[in-house]
Amino acid sequence: MDTPAPSPVADRELVLTRVLDVPADKLFKCWTTPERMHEWFCPKPWTVSHAEMDIRPGGASLIVMQGPNGEEVPNPGLFLEVVPNKRLVFTDAFASDWVPAGKPFMVATIEFDDLGDGTTRYTATARHWTVEDRQTHEQMGFHEGWGIVADQLAEVAKTF
């Protein structure tokens, strides 16, 4: 069997893969229901204080994360691809109406691979513009934080 060639952006990407005990459609619904994002999107004690999403290619999103001391971190972005129950691709490189952001950080791809037994292979990939941005994201706790979020996502998705 041939070994696949490494991704040309492998040095700039972070990947989290989990098998979650929830069907893909429920995970997708969780990702696309802004009024429920406060339940799972941030590792506790952080939460989402505001979320709005126009879930279509070119649609804008704004997720405001709130820290335990009241600090707020707005995350505006744009959806690049939406494949129901399969895939979401979004970026912070643009705000609404394709207005370039000040400094783009990443393109995120969330994939939902239905394994046919009520479980889903969930893969979250963050691709960065530079190796330095990837390193910064990794030092911010990408694997731990996105792992906690995946667990929280699975628990909330079970309620759909």
Domains of the chain in sequence order: 36-157 (3.30.530.20)
For the CA atoms of the chain, what is the radius of gyration? 16
Indicate the helix (H) or strand (E) that contains 157.
helix 142-157
Of the candidates 47, 38, 88, the one whose C-alpha atom is nearest the C-alpha of residue 68 is 47
| Model confidence band, residue 89 (pLDDT cutoffs 50, 70, 90) | very high
Read off the tokens for 95: 């705000």
| Model confidence band, residue 103 (pLDDT cutoffs 50, 70, 90) | confident
Q: CA angle, 35 as apex, 105 and 32 as ends, to 5°?
A: 60
Q: What is the pLDDT, as a whole number, of residue 114? A: 96
The pLDDT of residue 100 is above 60: yes
What is this structure's pTM? 0.91
